[in-house]
Structure 1
Amino acid sequence: MVALYIVAGLAVIFSFIFDREKTFKGLKMGLKKFLKILPNYLMILIIIAFVLLISEDFIIDYLTQNTIFIGMISALIIGSITMMPGFIAYPLAGILVSKGIPYMVVAAFVSSLMLVGVVTYPVEKEYMGMKATIYRNIGAFFVAGMIAIITGISYGEVII
């Protein structure tokens, strides 16, 4: 990450050396765009802070008390309103499986976590529009559900 900052800083310095006016104009435009999207990103940070209050134990207890289909629906909902990067989500999935949560429920949680973006809705709406964002999230929710059901069938947790 530090290397990226160094490269960006050097690029700004070289740009400044070659054309000060364009560099200032570019930095000013960048600052304006940053300030324009800042409220949406702050909203996402606030939502993430509240979501992080949900403990791992709560998720495990909630997902294991019910039938597999209720657990799957719960996992889809929890995954949809949670936001975390893949390098945290996949090890968490391993922990959930080791705690005895069915693969179908874990697949529902992880796939909805990666596909559905309730937390990122404000930013998506800004760039894609409200209608496209809603359609994308609804479609992603159903795709995550299908992934979970196929996983359950593959692991013999659901018999058709």
Structure 2
Amino acid sequence: MDIVTLSMWGISLPLMIYSYLKKRGKTKEATHKAKGMMQGMLPDIIAIIFLIGFVLSLLTPATIAETLSKVNPFTGTLFAALIGCVTLIPAFVAFPLVGSLIEGGAHLVPSVAFLTTLTMVGIKTFPLEAKEFGIKFTLLRSLLSFVLALLVAFIMGGLM
């Protein structure tokens, strides 16, 4: 195990034991709720992982990287950013995916644009967000997030 995983276990386990000793009923209730939430999310997470694995078996990271490197860097970045906007992938899956794209030869700028729009702009979650916060706010937030994601990508490309 890596240091981050060990640290998380080292922090979580003692706090969980402390919580259990302090308020046994509430701790049991919280763990049951967490278990139910995880069971509800698990099929979606597994489906996403299988879907990404299937797509990556057809389109290897090297193929995607080669395709992105053949187009104009600005066009490739814009294309990657747009794909990131409409894709709904959990961050814990997206980071290794982008890492494998970069290892496969993809340029850093489109990869960062994909990753930042993936996490900052949510076309699929737009209706829910608009319902909660209003269309004007959601539209403005999404537009600003898209522009800032492109800015971050180009800054990262200039720094590396």
TM-score normalised by length of structure 2? 0.63
The alignment partner of 1:55 has SS state of helix
Q: How far apart are 1:55 and its partner, in Å?
A: 2.7
Q: Which runs of 5+ in 1 are unaligned?
A: 12-44, 156-160
Which 4+ residue blocks in structure 1 deviate beyond 2 angstroms? 3-6, 8-11, 52-56, 61-65
Q: Tell me how far apart the structure 2 counterparts of residues 148 and 8 of structure 1 sit (CA, whole Å).
A: 39
Alignment correspondent of 1:153: 158
1:73 aligns with 2:112: no
Q: Which runs of 5+ in 2 are unaligned?
A: 1-15, 17-25, 34-43
1:135 equivalent among 115, 140, 151: 140
Q: Tell me how far apart the structure 2 counterparts of residues 55 and 95 of structure 1 sit (CA, whole Å).
A: 13
- When the two chains are superposed, the root-mean-square deviation of aligned CA atoms in Å is 3.0
Q: Tell me how far apart the structure 1 counterparts of residues 77 and 132 of structure 2 sit (CA, whole Å).
A: 31
Opposite residue 55 of structure 2, the aligned amino acid is S
Q: How far apart are 1:9 and its partner, in Å?
A: 8.3
Considering fraction of residues, name the structure with more helix: 2
The alignment partner of 2:96 has SS state of helix
Opposite residue 102 of structure 1, the aligned amino acid is H
Alignment correspondent of 1:101: 106
**Which residues in structure 2 correspond to 1:1-160 (within 5 Å)?**
7-8=29-30, 55-56=55-56, 57=59, 60=64, 62-155=67-160
Q: Tell me how far apart the structure 2 counterparts of residues 131 and 85 of structure 1 sit (CA, whole Å).
A: 26
Q: Tell me how far apart the structure 2 counterparts of residues 148 and 10 of structure 1 sit (CA, whole Å).
A: 41
Alignment correspondent of 1:158: none
Opposite residue 55 of structure 1, the aligned amino acid is V
Q: Tell me how far apart the structure 2 counterparts of residues 103 and 137 of structure 1 sit (CA, whole Å).
A: 23
Deviations 1:4-54 (A, max 9, x none): 99525879xxxxxxxxxxxxxxxxxxxxxxxxxxxxxxxxx8xx98xx589
Q: Tell me how far apart the structure 1 counterparts of residues 32 and 152 of structure 2 sit (CA, whole Å).
A: 45
Please say which structure displays the higher CA radius of gyration: 1
Q: 1:68 to 1:9 in 2, by over 3 A?
A: closer
Q: How far apart are 1:68 and its partner, in Å?
A: 1.2
